[in-house]
Structure 1
Amino acid sequence: MQLELRHLRTLCVIADAGSLSRAAAVVGVSQPALTGQLHRIEAALGGQVFRRGRKGVTLTPFGQFVLRRARSIMVTVDELLGGAESESGAKPGAAAAGLRIGGYHTPVLTGLLHRLFEMPGAPITVHTEYSPRLLLDLLVSRRLDVATLVDYPGHELPALPTVGTRVIAVEPVAVALPAGHPLAGLDEIPLSELADEDWLVSPPDGAGWPECFYTACQEAGFVPRVRHMLTEHEMIRSLVAEGRAAAPCQVTLNGGPNVVVRPLTGPTLWLRHVLAWRLGGPLDDRVPELAALAVEAHEAAVADVPGLAERLVRGDTALASS
């Protein structure tokens, strides 16, 4: 017998019910039929999943192994089908049950969430992804209601007929350096001054990073010597603090006591924070409110960065003219 998703779902039902008789009632088959199906599933898996007793069934150690993976698979499948079910109406009211927000770890996302969690209303669920293009796809497929995204000069996110967008802020790309670096005392650093550094960059996000950084380096007259490629913020801070590499980053990154973050100067060293939402979705009438909260979140994040407000205005002008 070939194992199918319905067999994994059956195992989950039996485990939750605690007995074959109760599980049979949930599944809508007779107990002998369910028992026979369980035997076939266990034969396909090559081990006993449940111990049968007078008080019901309990998981074997092998069964615990199987159920952990079965539940993980079912959660993933339900997530994949969730948007289609909402769109088709298979789960009436599902889209209105909560606000589904997506994004990546940016001050706009975290600040927006903090503000929304403090407001009364529908429950909020959060879904983070590294790729802005993937987040756009999740909006189009009705798996998200709103998302905070980033894009870069020359790599602006595409306009989609079912997704609305609004620019929240424009800011310079920055560099994280060890606190003892010779350039750490500057307010902003020309990229060309870092030509001899070893670099740590985050992986491609499908929306123009790190391609825009490589382009800026070429415009500054060098090819970056990339030694490391990471996404984990704590490991990035650790390697930078130890002097292992310089790292391009968001200007609002909290570097900690041994890392300094300085804006980089260059014509293409900017990024935009963008709020995106599903047109015709549950948030159409709340876009101005959400955008205002997102702007407030970004302003709060950069308030302690000297001179950054002026650079944001300059960056907005530069991007508009590019």
Structure 2
Amino acid sequence: MELDIRHLRMICAIAETGSLTRAAARMGLSQPAMTNQLHRIEELLGGELFVRTRSGTEPTPLGRQVISRARIVLSEMDTLFGDLPGLAGQVRSIRLGSVHVACVASLIGRVAEELPEAETSLRIEPSAALLTDALTRGDLDAALVGVIEGYGVPMAAPIASRTLVPRYPIFVALSAAHMLADRVEIELADLKDECWISPPGADDGSLAALRSTCRAAGFEPNVRYDAPSGEAQPLVAPGYGVRLVDPTWPAQPGTVVRPLAGDPQVGRLMVAWRRDRLSDGTAAALYRGVARAYTDHVTDNPVFQRWWEAHPAIHPLI
């Protein structure tokens, strides 16, 4: 047996749905057939890719590596010819959505450089689930979607996607007066007695991911506050709580942003679009604009910039 594209899609479907049953339904297979295929793939690769937990099916360390590489292969296959000259096509407007990341400040301008004939609108959401729902309904034409590794959101035709950043660490924000604020990186276990601010996009699995990550570090997080991503700083600065943050954001006044030792939680960014709305060429041009917008803001947070420069393999393929 050799791995083919369908096997890679199957592995990613299990990771994104967190369930063999749901993944089998997405792939049009029975659960026994899906299970047998998975066992054969694991035998070929020499180890388990997924384990069953109380919250569903989660990838093993080997599984995370395979999933990350599979997503890169699939994203390139989905746009194999879309970035060739002359294939961009014509589109008059693009309804673009995005998760709340630093590069939203540059998205419109960078996309306009790649698609000057298109008028682009922008909708910002804290939730990948809301963005993909809007894509499914046709309320959006494309979106920059972020998910926590192991907690994907389902996407079905006519939605296609291409990975932008396959893997990046999630950082923690805390008060500048916190006793750990002067550390270069912070052990998650050292935050066991803190109050936590709930991460945005709980319906994506981000809250479940926070609980799972903290439990793996030996404690149950005390999630006391629920605040939109842009409204949490007034709670962090005076020390009422700590929160996980996207690493591209610079520290807000009165706070510091630090990496967590060992990268216990990582995210993935992808550009998704409706194939019935955007041609492959237009989608490729959109991807280039989003990629340039993202890299424009890598230097906003010097801590993340150092991590980024040390990991050139995860940079967007522009």
TM surpasses 0.5:
yes
2:160–2:274 contact (8 Å) kept in structure 1: yes
| Residues 201 and 315 (structure 1), Cα distance of their counterparts in 2 relative to 1, 3 Å cut | farther
Structure 2 equivalent of residue 39 of structure 1? none
Structure 2 equivalent of residue 270 of structure 1? 266
1:198–1:224 contact (8 Å) kept in structure 2: yes
2:154 equivalent to 1:158 = yes
Superposed CA offset, 1:96-146 (max 9, x none): 542111123212443222323466322222223332122112212222111
2:250–2:301 contact (8 Å) kept in structure 1: no
| Residues 186 and 114 (structure 1), Cα distance of their counterparts in 2 relative to 1, 3 Å cut | farther
Q: 2-side partners of 1:117 and 1:227: how far apart?
A: 41
Q: How many equivalent residue pairs?
A: 223
Q: Which has the higher contact order (CA 8 A, sep 6+)?
A: 2
1:145–1:278 contact (8 Å) kept in structure 2: yes
2:250 equivalent to 1:254 = yes
Structure 1 equivalent of residue 172 of structure 2? 175
SS at match of 1:210: helix
Q: 1-side partners of 2:200 and 2:110: how far apart?
A: 30
1:201–1:230 contact (8 Å) kept in structure 2: yes
- Cα RMSD over matched residues? 2.7
Identity of aligned residues (%): 30
Structure 1 equivalent of residue 205 of structure 2? 208
Structure 1 equivalent of residue 41 of structure 2? none
Post-superposition shift, 1:222? 0.4
Structure 1 equivalent of residue 108 of structure 2? 113
Post-superposition shift, 1:194? 0.9
Structure 2 equivalent of residue 229 of structure 1? 226
Post-superposition shift, 1:172? 1.0
Structure 2 equivalent of residue 38 of structure 1? none
Superposed CA offset, 1:193-216 (max 9, x none): 111111112354321111111110
What amino acid is the match of 1:135? L
| Residues 107 and 206 (structure 1), Cα distance of their counterparts in 2 relative to 1, 3 Å cut | same
What TM-score, normalized by structure 1, do the two folds share? Answer: 0.62
Structure 2 equivalent of residue 300 of structure 1? 296
Structure 2 equivalent of residue 242 of structure 1? 238
Post-superposition shift, 1:284? 2.3
What amino acid is the match of 1:142? G
What amino acid is the match of 1:115? R
What amino acid is the match of 2:183? L
Post-superposition shift, 1:228? 0.6
Structure 2 equivalent of residue 218 of structure 1? 215
| Residues 186 and 289 (structure 1), Cα distance of their counterparts in 2 relative to 1, 3 Å cut | farther
SS at match of 1:303: helix
Q: 1-side partners of 2:260 and 2:208: how far apart?
A: 16
Q: Please list every run of 5 or more consecutive structure 2 residues that lacks an aligned counterpart in the other structure.
A: 1-89
Larger radius of gyration: 1
2:127–2:200 contact (8 Å) kept in structure 1: no
1:132–1:205 contact (8 Å) kept in structure 2: no
